[in-house]
Amino acid sequence: MLGTDENPIMLVPESAHRPKLVKHLLPGFIPRKPKDEKKADKTSDGLRTNNGGIDLNKWGSSERNYYIENVVNNKFLSHLETKLALYLYSIFTHKGEFYYPGYIFIVRDTPDYSVFNRRFDDYICVYGYHQTEELHYYIAGFFDLFKRLELLFVEDYQKELSNALDSLHDFGYITVTDIVEENLYSNRHPKTSAIPKIDTKAVKRKPRLKHIRIGRWMVHTPYWTKLLLQVPSEPSIPQKPKSAKKAEEAADIVKS
């Protein structure tokens, strides 16, 4: 069983690596130059936190809400991603108040909830990253995002939804945790777990469930005012001819 009290799902931290956030910010807004991917900052359980010195656990004023402005003024989001970000915002807010702990969402076609009974108890136990918060999500309360948004997508609905969620996570609008074996406590903290680590190579599944919560940093930080006007184009690398019988032929190809 996944997500039991003895072996809960560990949430991805707010400080997780957000590559699109760093890529699209003005250089002056980034405290330090992001390190090379191979030397990226990491948490104790190996998750990357290389965000150029931006601390996503700190923000300016908790009284201000910039989330919608941060979404609609980000031209690097697709129309689909913009709609999805605003829809999730409506789910996480009630009478002007945010529900930051998040919910568990169904992200694949699931006509019958009985499929969950084979992998979960009546609920899924989730731990906050620092293990200071424990939440229980009952199967009957899962939010069927796939069914609610099917009219937004045209082709390969499941893949488009997954890609859009990944993009919003990479920008920092939301934090996504897949409900899979890799994120069990026994796998994320094998040294302190009483339950043996599970070999995830033998268990490869596309996640049907994802825990999603809204990013507080994106709510309380006017991110949109620090966005680049356009992403700098990367210099093109001259391509060598794939094959040339003679050196003269290769030279002619380059000249042309």
Q: Is there a domain that residue 1 lies in?
A: no
Q: Is there a domain that residue 4 lies in?
A: no
- Alpha-carbon distance of 218 to 206, in angstroms, equals 28
Q: Is there a domain that residue 26 lies in?
A: yes
Q: Is there a domain that residue 122 lies in?
A: yes
Alpha-helix runs per DSSP H in the chain: 19-23, 67-72, 79-92, 145-148, 157-171, 185-188, 216-220, 247-255
Q: Is there a domain that residue 251 lies in?
A: yes
Q: Is there a domain that residue 86 lies in?
A: yes
How many folded domains does the chain comprise?
1
Please tell me what DSSP assigns to residue 184: B
* Boundaries of domain holding 97: 9-255
Q: Is there a domain that residue 156 lies in?
A: yes
Per the model's pLDDT, the better-predicted residue between 196 and 166 turns out to be 166
| Packing angle of the helix pair 157-171, 79-92 (nearest 10 deg) | 70
- Alpha-carbon distance of 228 to 136, in angstroms, equals 40
- For 43-98, the pLDDT digits (tens) are 554 455 556 556 676 666 677 899 999 999 999 999 999 999 999 999 999 877 88
Element (H, E) at 134: strand 134-138
Q: Is there a domain that residue 170 lies in?
A: yes
Give the per-residue pLDDT at 61: 66
Token pair recorded at residue 41: 């900052």
